[in-house]
Amino acid sequence: MSSTLPSHPDAHTLSPSGSLEREAPAGLQIADLMRSLEPTIEATRSLRETADRIAQSDEGFAVVTLNEDVIGIISAEDVLTAAQTDPTGWQTQPSTLAIASNQTRLSPHYPVEEVLHEYRARGIRPLLVFDEETPVGLIRPAEVRTWCLENHTAPWDDLACQKVLREADPGEDDAS
């Protein structure tokens, strides 16, 4: 049994586990934009190998796995941060050390707007999608950018969509 607050764009649902979840308005869900968990790299690889894997892909990130279990996502920005923190030793560090600690797990059943809330709170980056405890995919900023361009209608999404449109466009230089 769940208890729901009044219907409002920021309304939450109290799930049976006691955690707060956003109320899903009718419309596109995260599952509709979700992509496969690729590219991947084993957690036992060095950060240098991870950087090479990221450079070889068109994605700008890699999904880190250990024995086929998803551990997290390392972005090119995470690798750069590790290199700046330890300029002489970063290449031999295990890739797991560069995984951002604040990675969010989203449900495929959440509305796409939930991604915008996460981008506002934690910045724009690929996000893992879990169905209960099972990783089922990820959300890339490129898909969210496209969604913003096509569906950006609610006033409460304006700021996050504008930020995604600026930051997720690979061909646009940020002069500000």
70-105: string of b/e by CB count within 10 Å (b at 16+)? Answer: bbbbbbbebbeebbeeeeeebbebebbebbbeebbe
Q: Which band of pLDDT confidence, cut at 50, 70 and 90, is reported for residue 170?
A: low
Per-residue confidence (pLDDT) for residue 80, from 0 to 100: 94
pTM of the model: 0.70
Nearest-angstrom CA–CA distance, 72 and 82: 16
Query: Given this model, what pLDDT does residue 173 score?
Result: 46
Q: Where are the domains of the chain?
A: 27-167
pLDDT band at 163 (very low <50, low <70, confident <90, very high): low
CATH number, domain 27-167: 3.10.580.10
Query: Which one-letter amino acid corresponds to residue 165?
Result: L
